[in-house]
């Protein structure tokens, strides 16, 4: 399994709304076209209205790279920049888990 956590910090309330719309438009493609994407979970951060955290788990690194090449993902990557004041990506090394096959 290949996994990562991404934190997005958004510029303001309008940017947050635009970012959320963009992600809502992107998710159906991930759900229907990416069999190697095991988990793609988006979260608001409690008490931080301008922060979003994504947890992503893929069958393997190749599945992640395939996700990155998809038209819906390429669009999201290009368009999200207008909404962001910062981003932090952390690649994870699984040590134990429940609910996701490794």
Residue 102 pLDDT: 57
Residue 97 pLDDT: 80
Question: Has residue 97 been placed in a domain?
Answer: no
- Total domain count for the chain? 1
82-86 long-range contacts (CB < 8 A, ≥24 apart) are 82/15, 82/18, 83/8, 83/10, 83/11, 83/15, 83/16, 83/18, 83/19, 83/22, 84/8, 84/9, 84/10, 84/11, 84/15, 84/19, 85/9, 85/10, 85/11, 85/15, 85/50, 86/7, 86/8, 86/9
Question: Has residue 102 been placed in a domain?
Answer: no
Question: Has residue 9 been placed in a domain?
Answer: yes
Question: Has residue 10 been placed in a domain?
Answer: yes
Question: Has residue 69 been placed in a domain?
Answer: yes
Question: Has residue 98 been placed in a domain?
Answer: no
Any idea what the CATH number is for the domain that residue 61 is in?
3.30.70.100
Question: Has residue 54 been placed in a domain?
Answer: yes
Domain extent for 84? 2-92
pLDDT, tens digit only, all 102 positions of the chain: 999 999 999 999 999 999 999 999 999 999 999 999 999 999 999 999 999 999 999 999 999 999 999 999 999 999 999 999 999 999 999 888 888 765
């Amino acid at each position: 399994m290949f996994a990562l956590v991404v934190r997005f910090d958004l510029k303001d309330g309008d940017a947050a709304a635009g970012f959320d719309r963009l992600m809502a438009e992107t998710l159906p493609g991930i759900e229907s076209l990416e069999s190697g994407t095991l988990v793609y979970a988006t979260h608001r951060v409690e008490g931080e209205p301008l922060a979003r955290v994504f947890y992503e788990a893929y069958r393997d690194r190749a599945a992640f790279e395939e996700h990155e090449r998809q038209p819906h993902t390429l669009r999201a990557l290009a368009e999200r920049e207008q909404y962001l004041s910062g981003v932090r990506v952390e690649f994870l090394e699984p040590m134990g888990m429940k609910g996701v096959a490794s």
